[in-house]
Amino acid sequence: MSVIILAIESSCDETSAAIIKDGVVLSNVIATQDVHKEFGGVVPELASRAHQQNIVPVIDKALKDADTKKEELSAIAFTRGPGLLGALIVGTSFAKALALGLEIPLIEVNHMQAHILSHFIEEPKPKFPFLCLTVSGGHTQIVLVKDFLDMKVIGETRDDAAGEAFDKSAKLLGLDYPGGPLIDKYAKIGDSSRFKFSKSKVPGYDYSFSGIKTSILYFLRQEIKKDAGFIKDNIADLSASIQKTIIEMLIEKLELAANENNLSDIAIAGGVSANSGLRDAITDMAKNNNWQTYFPALEYCTDNAAMIAIAGHYKYAAKEFVGLDIAPLARMPLI
């Protein structure tokens, strides 16, 4: 008998639902919240309200797109964390209620683990063991992936995430939220070697991105005093230089981890994995080292329920179910 799982993602500002059947994603519906743009970042309370409005129509569309009735479902998978607590409560509560009503198992999914497992939605798929650089607005981690459900964080940021560094830098440049994609857009036509910004030095495989934000802030303040139109006149070169610095920080630690752990299969995941500059840099690094690289399709980089679905698929096979007393976790370790 086929295993059909409904997956729900509500960790931040995307309400998403997906249907997976025997490991094949049949639908992946995402409702993005535009309400946060005017505030320059995600407002947790507004995100929670939007999830309440979106979750029923999003799940209904996911079922229809997959030509699936709710009575055919074998289990419900949902994002337990990490994420915004109010947003997670909406998805968790709906998943629990539906599982209870249908009398089917409930599967909790770690959001960051799901990002990594997004590589197994489509070909080509990495071979175990491999390294995965997970980069998003809230997390930056180097993960040693031994199996579908056996992962270990060997390096992570000690303060801010790379995605936050992109978005905060974009805000300093006067760009709209989310600013990371806009920096990537301008960087393609800019001179990445024109401006220099300081890099924080952290031992081992860990990162620190708080220093580069401060470096950019002070630099811009100084230049604006001399020329009020400095940012507007140099937006492409500033974007390219900022992007190059952040990417170099990411690549240096990733290459070190791959060499010292003797691994040649390298993957990236998370929202920042959609950044074209990062993809190009990792591709170049792989060519220089004769490594194999893996990138998820762009639709699976940002938050989506398809990645929750594939994680739920492997957890269902391992019979890793949870009870209805399960609660969401704003902070949730990978292991």
Helix, coil or strand: residue 18: strand
The CATH T-level fold of domain 126-296 is: Nucleotidyltransferase; domain 5 (3.30.420)
Residues 6+ apart with CB under 8 A from 180: 137, 163, 166, 167, 170, 271, 272, 275
Q: Are residues 49 and 55 in contact, defined by beta-carbon separation less than 8 angstroms?
A: no
Residue the block writes with tokens 């940012």: 231
State which H helix or E strand residue 43 sits in.
Answer: none
Q: How far is CA 233 from CA 183, 186, 221, 236, 238, in A?
A: 15, 12, 15, 8, 10
User: What is the structure's pLDDT at 1?
Assistant: 85
Q: Which two tokens stand for residue 72?
A: 């055919």
Equal fold, 4-116+301-317 vs 126-296: yes
CA–CA dist 216, 219 (Å, integer): 5
Q: Are strands 75-81 and 106-110 parallel, antiparallel or unpaired?
A: parallel
| Cα 311–Cα 116–Cα 152 angle in degrees, nearest 5 | 100
pTM score above 0.75: yes
Helix, coil or strand: residue 332: coil
Question: Would you give per-residue pLDDT tens digits along the chain (335 residues)?
Answer: 899 999 999 998 899 999 999 999 999 999 977 766 766 667 778 888 989 999 999 999 999 999 999 999 999 999 999 999 999 999 999 999 999 999 999 999 999 999 999 999 999 999 999 999 999 878 899 999 999 999 999 999 999 999 999 999 999 999 988 888 999 999 999 999 999 999 988 999 999 998 999 999 999 999 999 999 999 999 999 999 999 999 999 999 999 999 999 999 999 999 899 999 999 999 999 999 999 999 999 999 989 999 999 999 999 999 999 999 999 999 988 76
The CATH T-level fold of domain 4-116+301-317 is: Nucleotidyltransferase; domain 5 (3.30.420)
Q: Which two tokens stand for residue 309?
A: 């679905």
The domain limits of the chain are 4-116+301-317, 126-296
Residues 6+ apart with CB under 8 A from 290: 264
